[in-house]
Structure 1
Amino acid sequence: MPSPPSPSKVAASLLAEKGLELQELNILQFLWKSYGYICHITASANTTSSKSSPLETQSFILKLITPPPTKADDEGHTRKILSYQVEQYFYTHLATQLPPSLPVARCIASINEHHPDGSSTTAMLLSDLRERYPVAGEKRDALNVGQVMAAVDWLSGFHGFWWPRVKDMDRSALVRPPLEEVKNDGHHATQKTVWLNGGYTYLATRREEYKKLAADYDHEWNDPLTDWVEDALSISEMVATVLAPKEKGWSATHGYQTLIHGDVKSENLFTTTSGDEVAFYDFQYTGLGLGVCDLAKLFTCSVPLSMLIEDEVIPHELAMQIGEKQLLERYWKRLKDVSGKEYLWDIFVRHWETALVDWLRFQASWGFWGNTQWLEARVRSILKDKQWREGLVGNMKFTGNDAMVL
């Protein structure tokens, strides 16, 4: 396999397309398993007039992916390869449709080359968000109150914008679960769009972790999440079925599906110095889903616990507290305003609670982090809610029909 191109060579080529010349390149970080780089670039106009006056420099971000060939049975590897193609599609085809109120990086130039040996080179030259949003979100729990509100507003705007528009997407062109994509590569040889099921935690691609949880009889969440409840299905399997978008036909949440970011956390955003505006990045797992699935990760991983609960001591079971409700109401109201669509509060809350159960299933089988005590206490309360359980079972029986609400 030939050596992958250097970041400098790729950057120079992409800049040349825009009449720019590379001045400096610094590697900011390496991608997963050293599959590539994220680099900061300074460039200037490609001209000789600099002898009389200094050239004005511009700042860009280069994301370069040069992974080894896809392996038919390696789900994690394939997921990553597909995710980079999804992200490139988002920046080149979807981000351009967003209004100014939903800031994301602009894609200045890009390449997507597939080589005879099965390897590939994907690169995007992006505008540098840090020029307007200089404060990085950093690690979880780092967001302050203003940043949380800005993040919630951005998400409600993003979800609200795409909600009425996803109905026009060609679902046959959406990206399937990784191993399914590999098997059907010839059938889905057209350009990849975004994921049929947004995010990277959904059960269809996390069966190995789920099996380990189901086999761990000492784990607290073994019985509540993996034991059979209805028709030889567990709570986790029913939740996954209700939440999962489908290529054809209706699902229990079909009428509420939008595009979700898929990996919402503080590390994937920048804010203004004041913290009242936010810009998200890292759209590798963008796809169809319920907006509340983005919120479930945000609340658990990046919202200060004090914004969710009133007391520092979290009880074993926890119903929705005022802080959690206020954040959800803020999101819910703007989501409806932006989309122009109706979303009854009771249905919204059921969707939210279902998303929390699904998110806990992933954490319980993969590893806990963030506001885990809050998440576990909330799910214990949700699982004891008779109406929620009856609604879940009912939706399983109606999957594929027209009348479906939780």
Structure 2
Amino acid sequence: MKQGYQDLILQACGASSMSVGDKIQTLWSGYGEIVRLHLESSDRTSVVVKHVKFPKDAEHPGDWNTERSHTRKVRSYQVETHWYQNYSTNHSCRIPSCLAVCSHGDEMLIVLEDLDVAGYDQRRTSVRDREIRACLSWLAHFHALFLDVVPDGLWPIGTYWHLETRPDELEAMDDAELKAAAAHIDRILNECHFKTIVHGDAKLANFCFSKSGLEVAAVDFQYVGGGCGMKDVVYFLGSCMEERECEKRVPALLDHYFTELKLFINKDVNFDALEKEWREMFAFAWTDFHRFLLGWMPGHWKINRYSKQLVKEVLCKLKQSSEPELPKP
């Protein structure tokens, strides 16, 4: 790490020295790494540093190494930097505190609170019901906090699979009917009356759990932006449950999400209208992500019977809404 970066971290944390600990992960497509740094003579024993360095030759598991892909990733790190510098949440939707940010040339540095030290030291690859509900509560509180907030400096439309940013994947789709309906589905989601700020990449891997599993914090805000809250909900549920679980458990889990949302929503908001609209958007949001997967990685495990049934329902609704009404006798 460059000396200038080290000096920035030491100053921001009031530390006398630091040492590099474990590498937490390599960033997607080789765009840098996340590491833990141990500090001396500081109120903090450690911090987590997201060190972005744009590669000359990016790697991608799906061979989507295009200039458009690179531009999207660069923008995503700019958005994440802006998020940490200009937005904050509360204890009910915990995120790491941002201690310092630096950008120079093809490198970016984000210095964050170590959530492990704060008590969120558990990661999950599979979850029980209480842990799923904890994540849905986090999302509900997040969406309530940012309802009607304009996403200044963020993605105008959040999520990494947003149609406007994924024309290559759309072109690669084999499903002609869904491909033809993609823009209509996108427009329906974007024209929702009730909008919030969505996390944009709310998969299970981006939640950090307390030991009990009852409290969570979220990380990775590269694709945070405006939109319908259902986008986060469907993406999260799809990240931690297979088709049979979805069929059995989604109704009760959706009820939990809306119960939590109602608790934190501003009392001036017409919650009944919001819930009605967002429940109607559930299948549309799921179909929208399914559309992305079909073009990006058509063999993905998330392309399953449950997803296909929701797609079928959405396409049927669109067809019915476009058919002229027959004259009454």
Give the TM-score taking structure 1 as reference length: 0.70
Unaligned runs of 5+ in 1: 1-5, 47-55, 114-118, 175-192, 217-221, 227-233, 245-251, 311-322, 395-406
1:15 equivalent in structure 2: 10
Q: Which amino acid aligns with 2:109?
A: A
- Are the equivalent residues in 2 in contact too, given 1:300–1:371 (CA < 8 A)? no
Q: Where does residue 184 of structure 2 map in the other structure?
A: 238
Kept in 2: contact 1:12–1:21 (CA 8 A) = no
Amino acid at match of 1:204: E
> Matches of 1:339 and 1:160 in 2, distance apart?
5
Q: 1:80 aligns with which of 54, 63, 73?
A: 73
Letter in 2 for 1:24: S
2:127 counterpart of 1:143: yes
Give the RMSD, CA atoms, in angstroms.
Answer: 2.5
Aligned mate of 1:329, from 255, 259, 269: 255
Report what 2:265 is aligned to. Answer: 339
Is residue 383 from structure 1 mapped to residue 309 from structure 2 by the alignment?
no
Q: How far off its partner does 1:268 sit?
A: 0.7
The one-letter code matched in structure 1 to 2:159 is G
1:369 matched to 2:295: no
Whether 2:79 is the aligned partner of 1:92: answer: no
Per-residue deviation, 1:304: 5.4
**C-alpha displacement of 1:150:** 0.3
How big is each residue's C-alpha offset from its partner over 1:12-63, in whole Å with a ceiling of 9 and x where there is no partner? 43222332133321333222333222110110227xxxxxxxxx76111011
Q: What letter corresponds to residue 305 of structure 2 in structure 1? A: Q
Q: Deviations over 1:315-353 (max 9, x none)?
A: xxxxxxxx2111112112322332222243432221111
User: Does residue 1:273 correspond to 2:211, yes or no?
Assistant: yes
Give the paired residue count.
308
> How much does 1:364 deviate?
1.3
Q: What is the match of residue 36 of structure 1? A: 32
Q: Report deviation, 1:366.
A: 1.3
State percent identity of aligned pairs: 25
Is the CA contact 1:65–1:123 (under 8 Å) kept in the aligned structure 2?
A: yes
Query: Is this contact kept in 2: 1:11–1:125, CA < 8 A?
Result: no
**What amino acid sits opposite 2:246 in the alignment?**
L
Q: Which residue of 2 aligns with 1:194?
A: 154
**Where do residues 60-71 of structure 1 align in structure 2 (5 Å cutoff)?**
60-67=47-54
Give SS of 1:308's match. Answer: helix
Q: Which amino acid aligns with 1:224?
A: E
Q: Which residue identity is paired with 1:149?
A: R
Aligned partners of 2:100, 2:168: CA distance in 1, in Å?
A: 38
Match of 1:59 among 40, 43, 46: 46
Question: Given the two structures, how large is their TM-score scaled by the length of structure 2?
Answer: 0.85
Of residues 333-342 and 350-359 in structure 1, the stretch that sits farther from structure 2 once superposed is: 333-342
Q: Is the 8 A contact 1:103 1:280 kept in 2?
A: yes
4+ residue segments displaced more than 4 Å: 304-307, 388-391
Q: How far apart, CA to CA, are the structure 2 residues paired with 1:34 and 1:22?
A: 28
Using the TM superposition, give the Cα deviation of residue 89 of structure 1 relative to its aligned residue in structure 2, in angstroms. 1.1
For the 8 Å contact 2:96–2:113, the answer to whether it is kept is yes
Offset from partner CA, 1:113-146 (integer Å, 9 cap, x none): 3xxxxx33211111111121111134xxx12211
Contact 2:13-2:44 at 8 Å conserved across structures: no
Deviation for aligned residue 1:389 = 4.7
Partner of 1:358, secondary structure, is helix
Structure 2 CA distance for partners of 1:137 and 1:163, relative to 1, 3 Å: same
For the pair 1:207 / 2:167, whether they are aligned, the reply is yes
Distance 1:389 1:292, change over 3 A: farther
Amino acid at match of 1:370: K
Q: CA deviation at 1:263?
A: 0.5
After TM superposition, the structure 1 = structure 2 runs for residues 120-199 of structure 1, keeping only pairs within 5 Å, are: 120-131=106-117, 132-138=119-125, 142-166=126-150, 174=152, 193-199=153-159
How far apart, CA to CA, are the structure 2 residues paired with 1:11 and 1:198? 33
Tell me the residue number matched to 2:62. Answer: none
Q: What 5-or-longer segments of structure 2 have no aligned partner?
A: 57-65, 324-329
Q: Structure 1 371/334 Cα, relative in aligned 2: closer, same or farther at 3 Å?
A: farther
Cα separation, 1, equivalents of 2:242 and 2:137: 17
User: Residues of 2 paired with 1:198 and 1:84: CA distance?
Assistant: 13
Q: Determine the C-alpha separation between the residues in 1 that align with 2:13 and 2:205.
A: 30
Letter in 1 for 2:33: Y
Q: Find the counterpart in structure 1 of residue 60 from structure 2.
A: none
2:48 and 2:111 in contact (8 A); partners too: yes
Rounded Cα–Cα distance in structure 1 between residues aligned with 2:38 and 2:238: 37
